[in-house]
A and B are shown apart, each in its own frame.
Chain A
Amino acid sequence: MNNKLAPHIEELTKALESISTNIDESQIQEELEKLLDFRVPLDEAKRTIIRKYKSASMPVMKIRNITAGLKGFEVTGRIIDVTEKSVNLRGKDTIIFSGTLADEDGACSFTAWSNYSLKIGDVIRIKNAYSRSWHNRSEVNFGERSHVEKLPDDVLPSIDELTKTPVKKLRDVANTDLSVSSVTVILEFSHRNINVKGEEVTIVEGVLADETAKLPFTSWVPLDGLDIGSTIRFEKASVRMFRGVPSLNLNDNTTINAVDASTEELPFTFESANMVPESVPISEIMEKDGMFDVIALGNIISIRPGSGIITRCPDCNRVIQKNTCRVHGTVEGVKDMRIKAILDDGTGAISVMLNRELSEIAYGRSMVEAENIIQKAMSQDAVFEDMRQVLTGKYLAVRGNTSSTEFGVMLVSKSAWMPDNNINERVNALMKRLGNNKEEEADNG
């Protein structure tokens, strides 16, 4: 090793450790030597390397873009509240600080594993923070390897400003909203009785929509006079997360008013909001923790094991083998059919689940026909194999909700169909992009 470089490499390593957890000294040496070989001045070479690592490994995040499981990012926010807690960590009592952090368009909870003397109202910049999932939301975490810096107060709006309930379109409601206000139309609406601490309570469940998205809602207050098709303006609905999808909670703190859609100019109607959504590139679905009512379209590039004819416990619906449920013992199993597939559109890949009814549509055979295949072939795998042959490579469109699981993003289908092969329009658009549209072609002879 070039001894003259040693102190510089050490300096770079130290500087970079504060922004990334993944610094390899020999790699830095290699990069520095390469730049010097190109006769880049030493100072400039060092700056280049720092810039490179900063941009590659230290993305600057807005709170609304933070998903669980990120590492080594930078975030700036104002402390909305903070409390000191004593937790037992691997047998040791440890003091941690947790609270809420907010920027202009989002808020999230945080946990600080070291004492940074954080006070309510402080504006802080955290470098080398990481995130994890906490109560179905993302939480910012920082500790010994992070750098926390107090910034001037005017970098962010005041606490009052930051905690004001924002008026949002449904598409923009995220797990970083504590509450939202909006104008929407009711697409689905039903009453349900549930038991809360021994008391029977009637709640309303349904789906709200505007021109940008649909979201499920639950109302803990009666919605007299409202029904499917009603347009409402609500203020301060609290946002809950369920399987990565935001859900709106209307409660005592929420103001709800009916809107007369015939006199007020709105960018949507019941009909337009209730239309079948456009399909979304799978890469976009993968970026989110969960999405409500989306359509994905792609090729089935794999039929996963577990597809085919299965047996379920009649009591708990678990998939069972040899008529034995691990909870209910020996039972009379109920036959069912399902498909687990990987859908890939060239931008991303998700797992797709189809129930019996949708499997029959996609597969093109009824469950009875499938059972006959098993009997004829005398093999339980015969249907799985046949499904692979029928479906692998085919185009499939599915509609449903997505959620992020440890095996990647999964879409549980509410409907599924073989999409039409309408390529003419797309071919024309391609020809235009290629500067070769039909008129031109005709001119050229």
Chain B
Amino acid sequence: MVEREVAQRLFAKEFNDSKFNIHPKPDEVNHDGGHAPNFIVSPLGSKINRLFAAGVVTEIDNIGTEHDLWRARVVDPSGAFIVYAGQYQPEAAIFLSTMEVPAYVSVVGKARIYEPEDGSVFVSIRPEDINVIDADIRDRWIVDAAELTLDRIDAFSMALASGLSGSELFEHLVQNNIPNGLVEGIVLALDYYHTDADYLQKLKDTVLDCVKSIGSGSGDENAVPDEDLILELMNEMDTGKGIDYAELIIIAKSRGMAENVIVAAVRKLLAKGMCYEPKIGILKVVS
């Protein structure tokens, strides 16, 4: 049976602290005959093959020379995920090349690691899917990531408290109902990073900052009232024949506005007399 690699939830800080890559030997195949997957092990013991991140896109650059290679910074409250989309990720590349910043997005993709000769290590995401999301999903993602990160911190604390390592630590954690994947990750991370209580505390502080940020960030991004955004969009869309209401909703949604917010904004504009409905389903801005 082919099991799909889970998309890990972790904050950019933990991801960007990761330097330990486990790549299967070229001839190594797993029981099902498929190739064993690549993993990046984080200092907290996450075994990351795939991850799901949410945040604000703050910068997009085309850094390619021969071919387009789009680089985006997707920022969460702890740092930035770097996302690269090139010719082999055509959909993500088109998405990044046409989107406006800043905007909330979700990214699901594979964890990549780049190790130039000088000993430095860079991790990034190779996207499988990027999409525009709203602030609610972003907040909820922070809660998910915080809960799962704290679970890892708790498991790691248990590992440190035991004073064990290697196979003995493995057995100890399995007996304490820590999931197998995480147990493997913790044993590997302890051996490679020598993760200590100080690092766990640092990550805990990061989680706290992230949780505290929920709801507070929306002040900046929504500084412009929704009606103004909709009005601006209607002006942009109107070629003289008016604006198709359904189309307006689709486009406003693609810019990260929730449908109920859009509908409420249009209703307010109608009430204020700033736009009118010449026939059902068509809107016109009063100029």
B167 touches A301 (CB 8 A): no
Q: Which of B1, B106, B146, B179 has the most CB of A within 10 A?
A: B1
- CA of A388 to CA of B131, assembled, Å: 9
- CA of A392 to CA of B148, assembled, Å: 21
Q: Which residues of A contact B3 (CB under 8 A)?
A: 286, 408
- CA of A130 to CA of B204, assembled, Å: 42
Query: In the complex, which range does the number of interface residues on chain A fall in?
Result: 35 or more
A393 touches B54 (CB 8 A): yes
Residues A348 and B214 in contact in the complex (CB < 8 Å), given A48-B167, A408-B1? no
Interface residues of B in 45-81 (CB under 8 A from A): 52, 54
User: Which of B1, B150, B214 lies in contact with A404, CB distance below 8 A?
Assistant: B1
A393 touches B171 (CB 8 A): no
A217 within 8 A of B: no
A434 touches B131 (CB 8 A): no
Residues A406 and B2 in contact in the complex (CB < 8 Å), given A71-B31, A393-B54, A434-B211? yes
User: Which of A69, A404, A406, A434 lies in contact with B207, CB distance below 8 A?
Assistant: A434
User: Which of A54, A299, A388 lies in contact with B52, CB distance below 8 A?
Assistant: A299
Q: Which residues of B contact A348 (CB under 8 A)?
A: 6
A52 within 8 A of B: yes
B285 within 8 A of A: no
- B1's nearest neighbour on chain A, judged by CB, is A406
Q: Which residues of A contact B52 (CB under 8 A)?
A: 299, 301, 344, 346
B179 touches A283 (CB 8 A): yes
A299 touches B204 (CB 8 A): no
Interface residues of A in 401-433 (CB under 8 A from B): 404-408, 421, 423, 426-427, 430-431, 433
Q: Which residues of B contact A421 (CB under 8 A)?
A: 136, 139-140
User: Which of B137, B208, B259 lies in contact with A436, CB distance below 8 A?
Assistant: B208
User: Which of B106, B140, B168, B214 lies in contact with A392, CB distance below 8 A?
Assistant: B106
- CA of A392 to CA of B106, assembled, Å: 8
B128 within 8 A of A: yes
Min C-beta distance of B90 to chain A, whole Å: 13
Q: Which residues of B contact A434 (CB under 8 A)?
A: 150, 204, 207-208, 211
Q: Which residues of B contact A407 (CB under 8 A)?
A: 1-2
The 8 A CB mask of B113-149 against A (1 = contact, 0 = none) is: 0000000000000001101010011011101111110
B7 within 8 A of A: yes
Q: Which of B131, B170, B253 has the most CB of A within 10 A?
A: B131
- CA of A393 to CA of B9, assembled, Å: 13
B42 within 8 A of A: no
Q: Which residues of B contact A283 (CB under 8 A)?
A: 6, 179
Min C-beta distance of A81 to chain B, whole Å: 30
Min C-beta distance of A28 to chain B, whole Å: 14
Min C-beta distance of A112 to chain B, whole Å: 22
B148 touches A346 (CB 8 A): yes
A346 touches B8 (CB 8 A): yes
- B9's nearest neighbour on chain A, judged by CB, is A346
Min C-beta distance of A31 to chain B, whole Å: 10
Residues A347 and B6 in contact in the complex (CB < 8 Å), given A394-B137, A431-B211, A434-B208? yes
Min C-beta distance of A197 to chain B, whole Å: 36
- CA of A6 to CA of B207, assembled, Å: 51
A393 touches B131 (CB 8 A): yes
- CA of A346 to CA of B146, assembled, Å: 11
What would 28 A/B residue contacts be, using CB atoms closer than 8 Å? A54-B167, A69-B31, A71-B31, A286-B3, A299-B52, A301-B7, A301-B129, A344-B7, A346-B52, A346-B148, A349-B4, A349-B5, A349-B7, A389-B254, A393-B106, A393-B108, A393-B131, A394-B137, A404-B1, A405-B1, A406-B1, A407-B1, A421-B139, A423-B139, A427-B211, A430-B143, A431-B211, A434-B211
**Chain A interface (Cβ < 8 Å from any Cβ of B):** 48, 51-52, 54-56, 69, 71, 282-283, 286, 299, 301-302, 342, 344-349, 364, 388-390, 392-395, 404-408, 421, 423, 426-427, 430-431, 433-434, 436
**Chain B interface (Cβ < 8 Å from any Cβ of A):** 1-9, 31, 52, 54, 105-106, 108, 128-129, 131, 133, 136-137, 139-141, 143-148, 150, 166-168, 170-171, 179, 204, 207-208, 211, 214, 253-254, 259
- Known A408-B4, A430-B146; further 11 A-B contacts with Cβ < 8 A: A48-B167, A282-B6, A283-B179, A286-B3, A299-B7, A346-B148, A392-B131, A393-B131, A395-B137, A406-B1, A408-B1
Chain A to chain B: the 3 pairs with minimum beta-carbon distance, closest first: A393-B106, A346-B9, A52-B167
